[in-house]
């Protein structure tokens, strides 16, 4: 099976094959019947819609139940702008895309504060309202009767840049536009933007702690996806010359979603396969027209049970999220941890921080300080508030009282991504990585905050974008070597044992070039050999001048590394000093270490 998948993937995603297909369709269409050319035109639009849904749902993990609404916005916008306002094609079709994008952006404004469910409901409501407005606003849209007489190839009334286009010409135009859009999306997905979409999909909290803003990233996903759907709608309007509200109802939105799921969420090639199936299938299923919801429901149910990763999961290898060209450009002279400038002020200081959950005071008036080039251990029994303190410092929780300062500036109450962007990174007690990403892709995610490549540069895959990516890939190589995970760099994380995940998570934080790093039980679940690798990493961080906070239970591991120790019990600091003193402290012995004998064991 793997062999079949490998061959198919190599073939279907090979640039030469793709180009050959486009050329074959472009010229070959002249020999096809008008009916077939029309269906191929719809196929292009369905591909664009499926890719749009895939970008939003498959990549970014957001759901749209109103895709037909974005599509319809584009279609009516271009139709009305041309028919009524007399604007030319090269204005109205891009305008359709922009209007779709604007709608997607408006709907996703609350994205930073609400859960996916809420946005999914917003898109559902939008889709339903859009259809009602189209039906009611007779003057503009033609209402339930529809809008006819839109300049189109069917009516032989469409002019583009002064040329009158027939159905064949128009198909070719749609083919080229679709191919260009696919190319841009493909580049986008294999850039740090696309990987950020996937990071939000896997864990918003973890993404935020790498400096990836959840609100902005989701808004970008909705905006781009809705823009693509709007563009497809604009092209649709001039294909048939008639627009009716029934083409943009809930059933159409569901159809797009089903196409995407069946194709395989996350796979661009899968979307094309699925769009082919769903463009040609309805012709054969005409008899079931009145049962379309049932048919789609059954297809969806069967595909989820039999093909959890869709057609792509069955036929193709998993997609990758780094451009091969950038990989080839990476050099062997990357530096895993660059020495940091000491900076001014006191490093990281936590002053009288208190955090409550309802009646429980998880962190009670805690003060501590981290300094460049020093490792501070934070220890204490389970439930003593260690992780909660890290969550407060990294901006996940807002404390009830107290201040956290980073190089003298108060960061209390800032968003997690803003804190990460300032160079304060953390890892999680339960590793939070992207399971489908390889080790290398996960590590590269850490560099997100350091990218300067803009959206346009990424989508066009300009040389500067590839160069920047190659620089970070060189650092990734150095980090995988130092962390002892170089031999699994191209393995998907979900296929690796637990110990690797911890090392990958620590490595990922290093890619962000932190000035301070908070490690929440990084050694839990590691073998002796892996612990030695981790210790080497932590020492290298210290040598490079980072501030390190290490939460750890293995006393031998801690003793070898740390400069300072802070012990928590029930949210309070019960000891602050060096490790020898901690071992003699009666309070620590009673709360945490047990009898003095076991403490020394
Ligand atoms: P540690 O990391 O030291 O084991 P935690 O910081 O995870 O401890 O937990 C400290 C206390 O706060 C525990 O009693 C825990 O149950 C509670 N706690 C932690 N997170 C939450 C939360 N999100 N909601 C309610 N209680 C919490
Ligand atoms: Mg904890």
What is the position in ligand 1's atom list of the atom closest to the CA of 397? 23
CATH code 1.10.3470 region(s) in the chain: 2-321
For the CA atoms of 480, 485, 486, 489, what is the dihedral angle to 10 degrees? -90
pLDDT tier at 517, thresholds 50, 70, 90? very high
What pLDDT is stored for residue 287 in this prediction? 62
Q: How far is the CA of 215 from the centre of ligand 2 (A)?
A: 27
What pLDDT is stored for residue 217 in this prediction? 94
CB of 366 closer than 8 Å to CB of 353: yes
Nearest CA owner, ligand 1 atom 25: 357
pLDDT at 284 over 50: yes
pLDDT digits (tens, 9 = 90+) for 339-362: 887 666 678 999 999 999 998 999
CATH code 3.40.50.300 region(s) in the chain: 348-437+497-593
Q: How far is the CA of 388 from the centre of ligand 1 (A)?
A: 6
- pTM for this prediction: 0.91
Closest CA to 217 of 63, 108, 107: 108
What pLDDT is stored for residue 207 in this prediction? 93
Calpha distance 481→29 (Å, rounded)? 52
Residues 480-505 have a mean pLDDT of: 91
pLDDT at 175 over 90: yes
Q: How far is the CA of 397 from the centre of ligand 1 (A)?
A: 12
Residues 44-49 have a mean pLDDT of: 95
Least confident of 21-35, 73-87, 287-301, 356-370: 287-301
CA angle in degrees (0–180, nearest 5) for 330-269-7: 75
pLDDT tier at 601, thresholds 50, 70, 90? very low
pLDDT at 506 over 60: yes
pLDDT tier at 283, thresholds 50, 70, 90? low
348-357 vs 401-406, strand pairing mode? antiparallel
DSSP 3-state helix, strand, coil percentages of the chain (rounded to 5)?
60, 10, 25
What pLDDT is stored for residue 330 in this prediction? 81
What is the position in ligand 1's atom list of the atom closest to the CA of 520? 2
**341 Cβ neighbours under 8 A, 6+ residues apart:** 545
Residues 222-231 have a mean pLDDT of: 96
Nearest CA owner, ligand 1 atom 22: 357
Judge residue 378's burial from the number of C-beta atoms within 10 Å of its C-beta, 0-12 exposed, 13-18 middle, 19 or more buried: buried
Least confident of 91-105, 147-161, 494-508, 562-576: 147-161
What pLDDT is stored for residue 600 in this prediction? 46
Residues 282-299 have a mean pLDDT of: 72
- The ligand with the least distance to the CA atom of 364 is 1
The strand ranges marked E within 170-284 are 242-243
Instruction: Give residue ranges with CB within 6 A of ligand 1.
Output: 357, 360, 362, 380, 382-388
What pLDDT is stored for residue 171 in this prediction? 93
CATH class of the domain defined by 348-437+497-593: alpha beta
Nearest CA owner, ligand 1 atom 1: 383
Residues 237-255 have a mean pLDDT of: 85
pLDDT digits (tens, 9 = 90+) for 399-450: 999 999 998 889 998 999 999 999 999 999 988 999 999 999 999 999 999 9
More confident residue, 102 or 313: 102
Nearest CA owner, ligand 1 atom 18: 362
Nearest CA owner, ligand 1 atom 24: 357
Q: How far is the CA of 384 from the centre of ligand 2 (A)?
A: 8
- From 356, 359, 385, mutation site for ligand 1 pocket: most ligand atoms within 8 A of C-beta: 385
Block residue for tokens 């309805």: 282
pLDDT at 2 over 90: no
More confident residue, 131 or 51: 51
CATH class of the domain defined by 2-321: mainly alpha
- DSSP states along 54-116: IIIIIIT----S-HHHHHHHHHHHHHHHHHTT---HHHHHHHHHHHHHHHHHHHTGGGGTS-H
CB of 330 closer than 8 Å to CB of 473: yes
- The ligand with the least distance to the CA atom of 572 is 1
Q: How far is the CA of 418 from the centre of ligand 2 (A)?
A: 23
pLDDT tier at 241, thresholds 50, 70, 90? confident
pLDDT digits (tens, 9 = 90+) for 449-461: 999 988 998 899 8
Q: How far is the CA of 361 from the centre of ligand 1 (A)?
A: 9
- From 357, 551, 553, 592, mutation site for ligand 1 pocket: most ligand atoms within 8 A of C-beta: 357
What pLDDT is stored for residue 403 in this prediction? 95
CB of 363 closer than 8 Å to CB of 354: yes
Judge residue 517's burial from the number of C-beta atoms within 10 Å of its C-beta, 0-12 exposed, 13-18 middle, 19 or more buried: buried
What pLDDT is stored for residue 518 in this prediction? 96
Calpha distance 325→191 (Å, rounded)? 12
């Amino acid at each position: 099976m793997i062999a079949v998948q490998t061959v198919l993937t190599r073939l279907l995603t090979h640039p030469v094959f793709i180009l050959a297909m486009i050329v074959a369709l472009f010229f070959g269409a002249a020999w096809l019947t008008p009916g077939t050319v029309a269906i191929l035109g719809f196929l292009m639009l369905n591909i664009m819609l499926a890719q749009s849904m895939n970008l939003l749902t498959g990549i970014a993990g957001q759901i749209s139940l109103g895709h037909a609404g974005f599509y319809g916005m584009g279609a009516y916008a271009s139709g009305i702008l041309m028919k009524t306002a007399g604007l030319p094609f090269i204005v109205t079709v891009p305008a359709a895309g922009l209007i779709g994008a604007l709608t997607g952006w408006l709907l996703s404004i609350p994205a930073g504060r609400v859960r996916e469910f809420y946005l999914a409901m917003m898109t559902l409501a939008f889709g339903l309202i859009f259809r009602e407005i189209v039906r009611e606003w007779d003057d503009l849209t033609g209402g339930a009767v529809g809008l006819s007489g839109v300049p189109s190839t069917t009516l032989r009334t469409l002019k583009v840049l002064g040329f009158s286009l027939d159905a064949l010409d128009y198909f070719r135009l749609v083919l080229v536009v679709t191919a260009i859009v696919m190319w841009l999306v493909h580049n986008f997905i294999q850039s740090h933007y696309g990987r950020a979409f996937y990071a939000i999909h896997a864990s918003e909290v973890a993404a935020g702690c790498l400096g990836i803003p959840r609100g902005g990233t989701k808004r970008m996903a909705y905006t781009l996806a809705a823009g693509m759907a709007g563009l497809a709608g604009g092209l649709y309007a001039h294909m048939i010359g008639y627009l009716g509200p029934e083409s943009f109802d809930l059933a159409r939105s569901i159809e797009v979603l089903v196409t995407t799921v069946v194709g395989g969420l996350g796979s661009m090639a899968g979307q094309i396969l699925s769009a082919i199936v769903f463009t040609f299938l309805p012709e054969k299923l005409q008899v079931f027209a009145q049962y379309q919801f049932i048919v789609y429901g059954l297809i969806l149910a069967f595909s989820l049970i039999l093909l959890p990763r869709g057609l792509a999961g069955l036929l193709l290898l998993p997609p990758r999220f780094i451009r091969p060209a950038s990989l080839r450009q990476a050099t062997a002279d990357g530096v895993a941890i660059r020495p940091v400038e000491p900076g001014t002020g006191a490093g990281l200081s936590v002053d009288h921080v208190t955090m409550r959950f309802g009646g429980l005071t998880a962190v009670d008036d805690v003060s501590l300080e981290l300094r460049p080039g020093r490792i501070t251990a934070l220890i204490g029994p389970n439930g003593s508030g260690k992780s909660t303190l890290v969550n407060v410092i990294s901006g996940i929780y807002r404390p009830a009282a107290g201040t956290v300062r980073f190089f003298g500036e108060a960061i209390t109450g800032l968003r997690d991504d803003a804190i990460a962007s300032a160079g304060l990174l953390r890892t999680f007690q339960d590793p939070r990585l992207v399971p489908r990403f390889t080790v290398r892709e996960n590590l590269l995610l850490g560099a997100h905050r350091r990218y300067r490549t803009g959206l346009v540069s990424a989508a066009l895959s300009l040389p500067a974008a590839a160069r920047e990516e190659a620089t970070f890939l060189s650092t990734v190589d150095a980090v995988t070597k130092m962390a002892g995970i170089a031999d699994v760099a191209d393995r998907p994380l979900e296929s690796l044992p637990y110990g690797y995940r911890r090392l990958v998570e620590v490595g990922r934080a290093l890619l962000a070039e932190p000035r301070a790093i908070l490690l929440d039980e990084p050694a839990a679940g590691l073998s002796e050999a892996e612990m030695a690798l981790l210790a080497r990493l932590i020492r290298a961080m210290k040598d490079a001048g980072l501030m390190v906070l290490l939460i750890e239970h293995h006393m031998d591991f801690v003793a070898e590394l740390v400069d300072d120790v802070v012990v928590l019990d029930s949210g309070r600091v019960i000891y602050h000093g060096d490790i020898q003193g901690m071992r003699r402290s009666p309070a620590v012995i009673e709360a945490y270490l047990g009898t003095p004998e076991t403490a020394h064991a």
